[in-house]
């Protein structure tokens, strides 16, 4: 029997805003989901249901209130909610890709260098990293004259593609994609979807948020509707 790469079990998250009258609100409760190697599960539902919040809990930017996030890889099983900070840093470097909606970088560092960094961090030679980074930037239609420029001056869509390039340099067993196609035109959307397909072929388990129905249809193996908590049936996707 195939083992899920990720097993989310009864995950709950709330926030307490201490400086705004101690307001507390529950974002989601008891979310459970298994994601298998080579599969892409899309989180769907209106804004405010906590789609991005789930991804952030999975990447440990957010602390979960309760529940387990079990990551299975190479016959090792770890609950992300119980790992030390250092273990999480290592896991992120080697095993988890996360495409966020924002690009945060030190001004002055060239785009090419930013895309190379994750490979350098896990011990690749500069030459190899540069070659792979160049391939990705070209694939994502970033003009070569921009490669040596800091992306802080780029347009939203260009920054988004730098984010994507950086996270797709190496195959990672788990990928978290927060609206990777949001600010892209049709050509670039297609380029991103091609990368996602490649990652699936290489057995990455993917959880993503896609607002445009076309991209969603192309990549999703299952769609979880957070409103009802049920998977949406295949033939009603476009409804």
User: Out of 2, 48, 74, 123, which residue is the one contacting other proteins (CB under 8 A)?
Assistant: 123
Give me 175's structure tokens.
């990928």
DSSP for residue 153: G
Considering the complex, what minimum distance in angstroms separates the CB of residue 51 from other proteins? Answer: 16
Question: Cα(133)–Cα(184) distance, rounded to whole angstroms?
Answer: 20
- Quick check: 14 and 24 in contact, CB under 8 A? yes
Q: Check residue 88 for interaction with other proteins (CB under 8 A).
A: yes
Q: Which is nearer to other proteins, 21 or 143 (CB)?
A: 21
User: Out of 23, 89, 186, 213, which residue is the one contacting other proteins (CB under 8 A)?
Assistant: 89
Considering the complex, what minimum distance in angstroms separates the CB of residue 57 from other proteins? Answer: 9
Give me 76's structure tokens.
């090792």
Give me 101's structure tokens.
């909606």
Give me 195's structure tokens.
């990368």
User: Out of 4, 49, 109, 138, which residue is the one contacting other proteins (CB under 8 A)?
Assistant: 109
26: which residues sit within 8 A by CB, 6+ positions away? 12, 13, 14
**Strand blocks (E) in 122-210:** 174-178, 205-209
Considering the complex, what minimum distance in angstroms separates the CB of residue 219 from other proteins? Answer: 26
Total of chain residues touching other proteins, rule CB under 8 A:
28
Q: Check residue 120 for interaction with other proteins (CB under 8 A).
A: yes
Q: Check residue 106 for interaction with other proteins (CB under 8 A).
A: yes
- Quick check: 35 and 9 in contact, CB under 8 A? no
User: Out of 11, 41, 60, 96, which residue is the one contacting other proteins (CB under 8 A)?
Assistant: 60
Beta bridge partners of 99: 177
Binding part of the chain for other proteins, among 24-32, 117-125, 161-169, 207-215 by CB under 8 A, reads: 117-125
Binding site for other proteins (CB under 8 A): 15, 17-19, 56, 60-63, 85-90, 93-94, 104-109, 120-124
């Amino acid at each position: 029997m195939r083992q899920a790469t990720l097993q989310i079990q009864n995950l709950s998250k709330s926030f307490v805003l201490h400086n705004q009258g101690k307001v507390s609100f529950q974002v989601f409760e008891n979310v459970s989901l298994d994601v298998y190697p080579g599969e892409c599960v899309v989180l769907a539902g209106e804004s405010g249901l906590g789609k991005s919040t789930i991804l952030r809990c999975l990447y440990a930017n957010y602390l979960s209130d309760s529940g387990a996030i079990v990551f299975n890889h190479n016959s090792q099983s770890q609950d992300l909610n119980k790992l030390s900070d250092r273990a999480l840093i290592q896991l992120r470097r080697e095993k988890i890709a996360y495409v966020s909606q924002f690009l945060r970088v030190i001004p002055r560092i060239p785009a090419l260098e930013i895309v190379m960094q994750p490979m350098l961090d896990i011990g690749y030679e500069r030459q190899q990293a540069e070659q792979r980074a160049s391939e990705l930037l070209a694939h994502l239609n970033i003009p070569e004259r921009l490669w040596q420029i800091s992306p802080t001056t780029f347009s939203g869509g260009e920054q988004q593609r730098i984010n994507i390039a950086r996270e797709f340099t190496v195959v990672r067993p788990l990928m978290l994609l927060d609206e990777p196609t949001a600010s892209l035109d049709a050509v670039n959307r297609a380029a991103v979807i091609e990368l996602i397909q490649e990652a699936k072929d290489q057995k990455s388990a993917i959880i993503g948020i896609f607002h445009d129905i076309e991209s969603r249809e192309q990549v999703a193996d299952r769609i979880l509707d957070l409103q009802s908590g049920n998977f949406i049936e295949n033939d009603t996707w476009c409804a």
